[in-house]
Amino acid sequence: MILESREATKKYGSKTAVNQVSLQLEPGLVYAMLGPNGSGKTTWMKMVAGLVKPTSGEILYQGNPIGKESRKEIAYMSTEPYFYSWMSVADVGKYYEDFFEDFSMEKYRQMISRMELTEDMKAKKLSSGMMAKLKIAVTMARGARLYLLDEPLNGIDLLARDQIMKSILEAIDPDVTLVVSSHLVDELERVADAAIFMKDGILAKQCMVEELRIDEHKSVVDLYREIYGHGGEEVC
């Protein structure tokens, strides 16, 4: 087990964004984190990344609380742009190289070149599609043990989506865990080993994709429809 979430809860005033989520992540697997907007996916990922402090419960990375040490091995890609406005594509790479020992500038350069970005481009002037590519390139150029990718395919056209998925899948390794959230359930089903369904801040379901297919003759898309289309009651 690489990560354990023990009844992790995050409240913002009277609103509970994540409610007692308990789950475990195993190394070498790709997890699809699914759920509609406001279901708690992003907040849970931010708690794992150390950006958000749980109100109660805890999250352990390799047995230790989230903090400075875990951030050395966890790579998080936010759905929103977050680079400093003065940064160029080259500056973004330099920044990651300065702070993350596992960052490979060579890999970063290969990825930005493949994604048709150039080092002199200003981050603040990139279109949303280009920005998504930059975020993926700089995140996947790290040699992290756990990747958390929040909506990496958001607002991306079909061709760019293939490029991004290819970059993500290159990281698959027996020692690496990937958690990818997306509204594009069918896109993720092709690559995911396991699925995590979030609803109203609660963990609605966690299951292995292959077991779901063999044992219950259901696809992740089928299950998604059942959970979110019929009030979210547990169905498998």
Distances (CA, A) of 185 to 74, 136, 192, 194: 24, 19, 10, 12
Least distance between other proteins and beta carbon 202 (Å): 20
Q: Closer CB to other proteins, residue 6 or residue 71? A: 71
Least distance between other proteins and beta carbon 48 (Å): 11
Least distance between other proteins and beta carbon 129 (Å): 18
Least distance between other proteins and beta carbon 75 (Å): 8
Please answer whether residues 28 and 73 qualify as being in contact, where contact means their C-beta atoms are separated by less than 8 angstroms.
no
Q: Closer CB to other proteins, residue 27 or residue 81? A: 81
Q: Closer CB to other proteins, residue 87 or residue 207? A: 87
Enumerate binding residues for other proteins (CB under 8 A): 10, 12-13, 46, 49-53, 67-69, 71-72, 76, 78, 80-86, 95, 98-100
Q: Closer CB to other proteins, residue 49 or residue 178? A: 49
Please answer whether residues 190 and 43 qualify as being in contact, where contact means their C-beta atoms are separated by less than 8 angstroms.
no
Q: What count of other Cβ atoms lies within 10 Å of the Cβ of residue 67?
A: 10
218 Cβ contact partners less than 8 Å away, ≥ 6 residues apart: 212, 226, 236
Three-state secondary structure call for residue 18: strand
